[in-house]
Amino acid sequence: VTFPLGFRYASTYAGIRKVAKDDLALIVSDVPANASATFTTNRVQAAPVKLAQKHLRDSRGKLRAILVNAGNANCATRTGDTVALETSRAAATILKAPLNQILPASTGVIGVELDARKITKALPELVSKLSPDRFGDVAEAIMTTDTVPKVASAEVSTGGRVVRIAGMTKGAGMIHPMMATTLAFVMTDAMIPVDFLKPMLSVGCEFSYNRLSVDGDCSTNDTLTLMANGASGVALSESSRKLFQDVLNRVLQELAARIAKDGEGARKRVTIKVSGAKTHADAASIARAIANSPLVKTAIAGSDPNWGRILCAAGYAGVEFDPSKVEISLQGIVVCKDGLAARFSEAALKKKLDGKECLIDFRIGGKGKGAARFWTCDLTEDYIKINASYRT
């Protein structure tokens, strides 16, 4: 896989987190890229989220660089706004870019002051390390409770020429489908006007990050960016935009699914498919209720084909459906038919549920065409262990 042209990456350890693991990273486009981003819908927004929104407005969707740190959310702190501004300004100066073309992003603990000097001091080294092949380093540097870096990429052929998309993301807890979720940075070297980027990202987000839940908590720092720097020299025709959208969706879905797989304490990724609802939105609501049910998630942790909990969760999704028409499959085995227990071998299914992937298929009989796919993970003792002591 080749990465998009005209982007460079670097990471370093700036001393923000306690363990000596890279915690500061830079993503730079050689030329100002067209960009769009979605942010958390939380009323409490971290300083970098507020500044990032302002910068994108002021620059009318032009972005040279993303400056991102892990280990501190720069949220609910006295100096947060100043820190976001000063570190962005330092990055702009050293990159010779307008301030409003720098997008700051942070992830980590809330309510602890972030020392701007740690970042400004590390910037020269960071810039000196910038390289097109340090993509993976950045994906590692933005990890918090993540156990693996998460990247996805794809190529799109259009008129005999190729454009590239590559994305990275982080997130394992505080994951909930509301607009953007967690941090995700997606780069492409296609030429795409800003006016097209926004709806492209919206659509992509709707079918990926908005269909992802680990614990139902929506963070203060969620940021999802899409940068198109045109370095391929390839402009997308109207027909190729549709193809590009499909591939973008797949990249975003792959990133989102990787987060589900790496959910805090998760042993299993759970994919939930709902079909037969009146609308796609109804199907997504049912899938979301199932995905957010601690009882469903603990049953899956225990390899227990407890379909009653799945039916029950669907029942409080706020969506009208006839329970007596519901068929539920686990790992392809029908466990509930017409809303009632189906005959199946518990022992055999239990074994199938011991694997690392779990598929819940929730079908409502009838004429409804509404369908949705949703990702989550099981809920294990380790989620508790991780989160009962994360801050200290």
Query: Would strands 326-330 and 333-337 be described as parallel, antiparallel, or unpaired?
Result: antiparallel
Nearer to a copy of itself among residue 281 and residue 340 (C-beta): 340
- Number of alpha carbons in the 13 Å side-chain half-sphere of residue 313: 26
Cα pseudo-dihedral 318, 321, 323, 325, rounded to 10: -160
Total residue count of the chain as it appears in this document: 392
Site for a copy of itself contains 44 (CB under 8 A): yes
Q: Residue 246, SS3? A: helix
Cα pseudo-dihedral 196, 197, 198, 202, rounded to 10: 110
| Residue 40: CB minimum distance to a copy of itself, A | 8
**264: closest CA among 290, 301, 296?**
301
Q: Using CB under 8 A, which of the segments 25-33, 85-93, 365-373, 377-385 binds a copy of itself? A: 377-385
Pair of tokens at residue 269: 């990724």
Q: Using CB under 8 A, which of the segments 85-93, 104-112, 198-206, 231-239 binds a copy of itself? A: 104-112
CA–CA separation, 306 vs 267, rounded Å? Answer: 18
Catalytic residue among 181, 182, 188, 223: 181
Site for a copy of itself contains 365 (CB under 8 A): no
| Residue 36: CB minimum distance to a copy of itself, A | 23
Q: Using CB under 8 A, which of the segments 97-105, 109-117, 235-243, 255-263 binds a copy of itself? A: 109-117
Contact 195, 240 (CB under 8 A): no
H or E element, residue 226? strand 223-228
Nearer to a copy of itself among residue 148 and residue 384 (C-beta): 384
Q: Using CB under 8 A, which of the segments 42-50, 94-102, 185-193, 248-256 binds a copy of itself? A: 42-50
Binding mask 189-208 for a copy of itself (x = CB under 8 A): --------------------
**379: closest CA among 218, 217, 269?**
269
| Residue 137: CB minimum distance to a copy of itself, A | 28
Nearer to a copy of itself among residue 185 and residue 307 (C-beta): 307
Integer angstrom CA distances of residue 341 from 286, 308, 351: 20, 9, 19
| Residue 388: CB minimum distance to a copy of itself, A | 3
Contact 152, 255 (CB under 8 A): yes
Identify the residue among 110, 172, 197, 248 touching a copy of itself (CB under 8 A). 110
Pair of tokens at residue 66: 């993303």
Site for a copy of itself contains 351 (CB under 8 A): no
Using CB under 8 A as the binding rule, the residues of this chain from 55 to 94 that contact a copy of itself are 73, 75-78
Using CB under 8 A as the binding rule, the residues of this chain from 239 to 278 that contact a copy of itself are none
**256: closest CA among 150, 331, 165, 380?**
150
Nearer to a copy of itself among residue 98 and residue 339 (C-beta): 339
CA–CA separation, 152 vs 164, rounded Å? Answer: 11
Identify the residue among 54, 60, 242, 385 touching a copy of itself (CB under 8 A). 385
Site for a copy of itself contains 331 (CB under 8 A): no
CA–CA separation, 68 vs 102, rounded Å? Answer: 10
Using CB under 8 A as the binding rule, the residues of this chain from 116 to 145 that contact a copy of itself are none
Identify the residue among 207, 216, 254, 325 touching a copy of itself (CB under 8 A). 216
**What is the residue whose two structure tokens read 């819940």?**
360
Site for a copy of itself, rule CB under 8 A: 41-45, 73, 75-78, 109-113, 173-174, 176, 178, 215-220, 292-295, 298-299, 301-302, 304, 306-309, 311-317, 319-321, 323, 336, 339-341, 379-381, 383-385, 387-392
* Residues with catalytic roles: 181
